[in-house]
Amino acid sequence: ISSDFVDKLIAVGATVFCKDKSSAELAKEKAVLVQNRNKIYTVTDALIIRDRKKFWTEYHKALGRGVLAEDVYYTLLWQVKNMLLVYNTRSSEEAGMATYPWTKTKRAMTKYKKEEVERLSSRLLHIWHDAHKYGRELPLLLEYFTLTI
């Protein structure tokens, strides 16, 4: 079993038993991957404040920490969905969201018009199709997205 395969299994929370690594080493690697996964929200924070330079930088930091481009994509999609919910609702309860992300997104919405958020959603959908239907590289498509917000 290659170490990359083991790392991917650990990243998705699988329990892996390997002759080469002790369970303590695997637990340590899993903890580091979970920490890195939690830092992915710095990318969405840069998106909602519309800071192109920070968005690009945080995107590359996330990739450098071993976060998969697909994870970044889904996190960005989640944030854009939240932005649309905030535009279309008056409270976190009405949106079905926790108070903190709704309030955080609401404060940042001064940077975007509703039409722009809808365009972001559409662009993310096109990115997914370009990557999976036409075989284009998702990391490069997301990088272009970060540079054009």
Q: List per-residue pLDDT tens for the chain, 149 residues long.
A: 556 666 666 666 555 455 566 667 767 766 666 666 668 999 999 999 999 999 999 999 999 998 999 999 999 999 999 999 999 999 999 999 999 999 999 988 899 999 999 999 999 999 999 999 999 999 999 999 999 99
Confidence (pTM): 0.76
Secondary structure of residue 89 in the 3-state scheme: coil
Secondary structure of residue 33 in the 3-state scheme: helix
Q: Please, are residues 4 and 20 in contact by the beta-carbon 8 Å criterion?
A: no
Tokens coding 83: 């932005």
